[in-house]
Structure 1
Amino acid sequence: MYNILFSDLDETLLDQNGQVPEINQRAIEAMQKKNKLFVIATGRSYNMIYDIQKQVHTYNCEKQYSLCFNGGLVIENKGNHVLYFKGLDKKDARILFDEGQKRGLCMLVFTMECCYIFNADAYEVERKKNQKAPYKVMDGDLDEIQEDIAKMLLMKRDMDYLRDLKASVEPKLAGHVALSFSSNRYMECNAAGVSKGAGLAFLCDYLQIPVSEAIAIGDNYNDISMIQKAGLGACVASSHADIKQTADYVCEKDYAEGAVAEVIEKFMGGVK
């Protein structure tokens, strides 16, 4: 029996317009009526997912939860109550920032309250506008950010380039940073030990739900840890071949077609 479902957002739960398809909304509401939990598991900050939480009936609700920053932040949605947080050390952030500056990469530096965009890419700025979240385009240096850094993204629309970047920068980080990829354009940079899988395990332990009763669904490399950690790991039809190899179940449907609803209907009792 599965009692909790962790879902990635982009290219998993959301359609091309960043909305939750109606078929997914109906399935999620049905599972919630059976007292099963739906948990957003995202690389975004909590203040970038309010509209999505509203669509899945978890916004500002007690005993409803979200994993943010790839598991670096776990919250109860009511009042964004922090259950767990682990951010990047400033020294490690400096190494990543200097590498990105040297290469002229667009970099997104996330704190709890704001996304700071360096070497701004027009699409990334527009995306933050659409997410209705606080952001600031920066012309200066990382030292201008005084808050704790939750995570960083280094952006390049070239996955081979990003893989080479990862291989180049990892030795400089001495194991202090976890690097992964998402959305075919980001190298995600979190503190070592942070992952969606670790966040899943933390929340299951906090709620005293066996991990064996958890399902996780995603599509990309930063989802692998939770796909592997969950009792049942699923991925959408358009996932990379190596993501599919890690999953227990590969959906017949793609993200816009209702892959999340497919998993709910198949493994969590349907929408009746």
Structure 2
Amino acid sequence: MKPQYRLITCDLDETLLNTEKKVPAANVEAIAAARKEGVKFVCTTGRGFPSIQGTLQEIGTVDQPEEYTISFNGGVITENRDNRILHMEPMDFDLAKEIFRRGIAYDVCAHVYTPDTVWVYHINPGEIGFLQGRMEFREFTDTSLDFLEGQTIIKVLFENTDYSYLKSMEDMFHDIRNLVDISYSSNRYLEFNKKGVNKGAALLRLAELLEIPQSETIAIGDNFNDLSMIRTAGLGVGVANTHPDMNELCDVILSRTNDEGAVAEAIERFVLRS
């Protein structure tokens, strides 16, 4: 019998990956079983696709044709073979420059994402530890993004582990809310993409490309940058460690955390049950 759901988009940090930044064995096995049934499993992350090749290797989709990745919070969709870019939604340079200018007035670390480089301003020891094993980055000290003029910028974010502090920053951007999509992730990041760029929109675009109805999609996540795809998918799933304020916005909250193979639970319950 054909599975009811044929496309799974899944967040990485705090969802697919455990605290050691690896894919639990139960998840690897369940993903392999789903793929044997013709189900597409798509890593969907706020990070850039160059930084998740190790994860793709773990689940067996690295450099594979007709396997896909959504990255930069939906800013880029790639086919995994040769990381071929199928769709990209960059941010206007002047807008990125202005977001960065305003944000660094706060006590934050800033990331600026181009397709192949994560530029990091005012990094702190805690952030160095958090990024280790997740992504490579280049530090810079300029207080303007003029040095990146002419390059493609996809996303800007600000880091502080005080979530309430990040929330307090939103007022600074009230006059440009119509130009950006704002989200939160990992309980430490305030993220900015071009308006209309989010994981949910990318899910729809990829589903259309693959000729899979929206009703046959699952999205799995844990935080607010996953909310757009959780709301968009035919079935929106939160892991047990999902941010509490999101629980009632998910169709299902799993019993397992990211450290306990939550993604395997979702696949076993909703894809392989037949």
TM-score norm. by structure 2 comes to: 0.95
Q: Does the CA contact (< 8 Å) of 2:107 and 2:160 recur in 1?
A: no
Query: Aligned to 1:244, what secondary structure does the other structure show?
Result: helix
Matched with 2:139 is 137
Q: Distance in 2 between matches of 1:4 and 1:126?
A: 33
Matched with 1:156 is 160
Q: Distance in 2 between matches of 1:5 and 1:132?
A: 24
Matched with 2:170 is 166
Q: Distance in 1 between matches of 2:174 and 2:115?
A: 25
Identity over aligned residues, as a percent?
36
Matched with 1:183 is 186
Is 1:118 aligned to 2:142, yes or no? no
Is 1:221 aligned to 2:224, yes or no? yes
**Larger displacement relative to structure 2 (241-250 or 23-32):** 241-250
1:242 Cα shift?
2.5
Q: Distance in 1 between matches of 2:177 and 2:70?
A: 26
Q: Distance in 2 between matches of 1:154 and 1:170?
A: 16
Q: How does 1:68-107 map to 2 (within 5 A)?
A: 68-107=71-110
Q: Distance in 1 between matches of 2:54 and 2:130?
A: 14
Q: Which runs of 5+ in 2 are unaligned?
A: none
1:254 Cα shift?
0.6
Q: Which amino acid aligns with 2:24?
A: P
Q: Distance in 2 between matches of 1:107 and 1:250?
A: 32
**Larger displacement relative to structure 2 (98-107 or 112-121):** 98-107
Q: Distance in 2 between matches of 1:132 and 1:41?
A: 15
Cα displacement string for residues 5-52 of structure 1 (whole angstroms, at most 9, x for unaligned residues): 110011100000100000100000111111111000100001110000
Q: Does the CA contact (< 8 Å) of 2:102 and 2:172 recur in 1?
A: no
1:126 Cα shift?
4.2
Distance 1:162 1:104, change over 3 A: closer
**Larger displacement relative to structure 2 (158-167 or 219-228):** 158-167
Q: Does the CA contact (< 8 Å) of 2:30 and 2:268 recur in 1?
A: yes
Cα displacement string for residues 98-134 of structure 1 (whole angstroms, at most 9, x for unaligned residues): 112222421010100100001112233344442353x
Distance 1:217 1:174, change over 3 A: closer
Could you list the structure 1 runs, at least 4 aligned residues long, displaced by more than 3 angstroms after superposition: 125-129
Q: Does the CA contact (< 8 Å) of 1:7 and 1:39 recur in 2?
A: yes
**Residue among 4, 7, 27 paired with 2:7:** 4
TM-score norm. by structure 1 comes to: 0.95
**Larger displacement relative to structure 2 (100-109 or 221-230):** 100-109
Q: Does the CA contact (< 8 Å) of 2:21 and 2:133 recur in 1?
A: no
Q: Distance in 2 between matches of 1:127 and 1:79?
A: 28
Is 1:27 aligned to 2:30, yes or no? yes
Q: Which amino acid aligns with 2:95?
A: D
Cα displacement string for residues 179-200 of structure 1 (whole angstroms, at most 9, x for unaligned residues): 1101111001100000100000
**Larger displacement relative to structure 2 (97-106 or 19-28):** 97-106
**Residue among 195, 203, 216 paired with 2:198:** 195
Q: Distance in 1 between matches of 2:199 and 2:241?
A: 20
Q: Distance in 1 between matches of 2:224 and 2:84?
A: 28
**Larger displacement relative to structure 2 (191-200 or 100-109):** 100-109
Q: Distance in 1 between matches of 2:199 and 2:135?
A: 24
**Residue among 40, 43, 59 paired with 1:40:** 43
Q: Distance in 2 between matches of 1:88 and 1:161?
A: 25
Q: Does the CA contact (< 8 Å) of 1:63 and 1:76 recur in 2?
A: yes
